């Protein structure tokens, strides 16, 4: 019986990891293309949640999940055009500071617009409830969430690895000067990647809004986890982030199974161990900009 309980936590951890992945992958993507650690990523997640709640009041649940990332993605265009673009080639500390400041401004803006009190959001009754497979219990909604994450993951992978767009982006990451010499302007590609990353954060926010507290500081909350995942996986590594997100989910679940109060601490211990043994993260490459 004990073994089944442990297995159940492992499987649940994988599902949870899928959700961490959505946030962390966007963060990693923006970093790998622009070299910017976007500390305001959590703000787009929070915005995604708030905008989806507003849309769902008018149009219903499914349109909200689709439209909220689009709307927030458009804000991402402005974010890239007016802020990020100035920092792609600057000292990394500057972009850290500006995005950190932006995160605080965004949180206060949410407070001004929607108030400090959390806003209510519910799942449609049809999506509530559990699926029991053998001895395992799954939330029906989380399985759906996992399917969405898998689809997004596959889409992003395909886009980066199998399309002309992806070719330019990957070339731009490694040889920006060469790409420019070939007469390709990288800027629109950068913008597109930022929109993708920000849109994924917003999608994450929209998907969890019905099952978590929608409040102004939710972005700061998720940012810590997202950052831990990205650091463990290796900044900028696609599969590293996937691996780390799942690992963090499973380690957290297992820790809670044995010592319930240590659940949140477990991911920091994991990060500590990984960094001790492998400072660049599990699958990270050496980053010249940060390791001069």
Partner 1 sequence: MSKIRPDSAPQNRPLSRRSALKIGAGAAAVSAIGFPAVLRAQSEAIRIGHLTPMTGFLGTLGEWAVMGIQMAAEEINAAGGVMGRPLEVKSEDSINPDTASTKAQRMLERDGMEVLMGEISSASALAISQVALRNKRLFMALGPRSDTLRGKSCNRYMFCTDIPNTVMVNAVGTALLRDNMVTGKKFATLTADYVFGHDLLRAAKTFFDAHGAQHVSDELIATDVTDFSPYLLKVRQAQPDIVCLNLAGNQVTNFVKQYAEFGLPWPTVGFNLNTADAWAAGEGNLSGTWPTVWHHSLDTPASKAFVADFQDKHGKVPENHAWIEYIALKLLAQAMEETKSTDTEKLVDFFEKGAKFDILKGREAYFRAWDHQLIQEAYPFTVKAPGEAKSQWDILDLGPAVPAADQPLEVIYPSREQNPCSL
Q: Closest CB to partner 1 among 63 and 120?
A: 120
Looking at the Cβ atoms of 7 and 70, the one nearer to partner 1 is 7
Binder of partner 1 out of 60, 63, 129, 155 (CB under 8 A): 129
Nearest to 194 by CA among 76, 96, 99: 76
User: Least distance (Å) from partner 1 to the CB of residue 257?
Assistant: 7
Q: Does 204 bind partner 1 (CB under 8 A)?
A: no
Please list, residue by residue across 52-78, b when 16 or more beta carbons sit within 10 angstroms of its beta carbon and e when fewer do. bbbbbeeeebeebbebbbebbbebbee
Q: Which two tokens stand for residue 71?
A: 């709307």
Q: Is residue 213 involved in binding partner 1 (CB under 8 A)?
A: yes
Determine, following the binding rule CB under 8 A, whether residue 257 of this chain makes contact with partner 1: yes
79 in Cβ contact with 197 (< 8 Å): no
Query: What residues pair up with 196 in beta bridges, in sequence order?
Result: none
Q: Does 215 bind partner 1 (CB under 8 A)?
A: yes
* Nearer CB in complex with partner 1: 25/250: 250
Q: What is the DSSP letter of 215?
A: -
Q: Does 280 bind partner 1 (CB under 8 A)?
A: no
Q: How far apart are CA 142 and CA 127, in angstroms?
A: 9
Q: Which is nearer to partner 1, 88 or 138 (CB)?
A: 138
Q: CA–CA distance from 84 to each of 6, 98, 183 (Å)?
A: 44, 9, 23
Residues 92, 166, 176, 263: which binds partner 1 (CB under 8 A)? 263
- The verdict on 217 binding partner 1 (CB under 8 A) reads yes
**15 part of the interface to partner 1, by CB under 8 A:** yes
Which residue in 229, 226, 152, 143 sits closest to 196, CA to CA?
A: 152
Tokens of 92: 């990394």
Q: How far apart are CA 292 and CA 235, in angstroms?
A: 16
Which of 44, 45, 87, 141 binds partner 1 (CB under 8 A)? It is 141
Q: Quick one: which of 92, 118, 166, 176 contacts partner 1 (CB under 8 A)?
A: 118
User: Could you tell me the CA-to-CA distances from 234 to 40, 163, 242 in Å, in that order?
Assistant: 19, 24, 10
To partner 1, the closest distance from the beta carbon of 103 in angstroms equals: 13
Burial class, 159, CB count within 10 angstroms (exposed 0-12 / middle 13-18 / buried 19+): middle
Largest CA distance in the chain: 63
Residue whose CB is less far from partner 1, 111 or 170: 111
Say if residues 234 and 284 touch (Cβ distance below 8 Å): yes
Is residue 116 at the binding interface for partner 1, with CB under 8 A as the rule? yes
Stretch that binds partner 1, among 113-121, 182-190, 196-204, 268-276 (CB under 8 A): 113-121
Contact between 88 and partner 1 per CB under 8 A: no
Tell me which stretch binds partner 1 (CB under 8 A): 1-9, 62-70, 159-167, 279-287: 1-9
Identify any residues that bridge with 133 across adjacent strands, giving them in sequence order. Answer: 136
Which residues form the interface with partner 1 (CB under 8 A)? 5, 8-9, 12-13, 15-16, 115-123, 125, 128-130, 137, 139-142, 210-215, 217-218, 221-222, 252-253, 256-257, 260-261, 263-265
């Amino acid at each position: 019986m004990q073994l089944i309980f442990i297995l159940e936590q492992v499987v649940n951890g994988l599902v949870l990891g899928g959700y961490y992945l959505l946030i962390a992958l966007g963060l990693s993507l923006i970093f790998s293309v622009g070299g910017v650690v976007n500390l305001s990523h959590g703000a787009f997640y929070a915005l995604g949640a708030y905008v989806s709640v507003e849309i769902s009041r008018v149009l219903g649940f499914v349109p909200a999940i689709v439209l909220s990332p689009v709307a927030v993605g458009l804000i991402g265009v402005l974010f890239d055009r007016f802020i990020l673009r100035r920092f792609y080639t600057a000292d990394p500390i500057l972009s850290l500071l500006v995005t950190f400041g932006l995160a605080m401004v965004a949180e206060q803006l949410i407070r001004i617009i929607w108030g400090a009190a959390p806003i209510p959001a519910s799942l449609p009754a049809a999506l509530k409830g559990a699926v029991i497979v053998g001895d395992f219990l799954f939330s029906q909604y989380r399985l759906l969430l996992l399917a969405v994450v898998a689809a997004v993951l596959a889409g992003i992978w395909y886009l980066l690895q199998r399309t002309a767009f992806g070719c330019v982006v990957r070339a731009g990451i490694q040889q920006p000067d060469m790409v420019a010499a070939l007469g390709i302007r990288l800027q629109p590609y950068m913008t597109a990647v930022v929109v993708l990353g920000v849109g994924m954060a917003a999608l994450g926010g929209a998907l969890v809004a019905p099952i978590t507290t929608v409040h102004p500081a939710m972005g700061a909350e998720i940012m810590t986890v997202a950052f831990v995942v990205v650091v463990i996986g290796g900044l900028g590594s696609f599969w590293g982030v996937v691996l780390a997100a799942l690992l963090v989910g499973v380690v957290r679940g297992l820790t809670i199974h044995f010592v319930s109060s240590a659940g949140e601490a477990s991911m920091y211990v994991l990060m500590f161990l990984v960094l001790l043994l492998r400072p660049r993260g599990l699958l990270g490459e050496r980053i010249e900009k940060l390791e001069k």
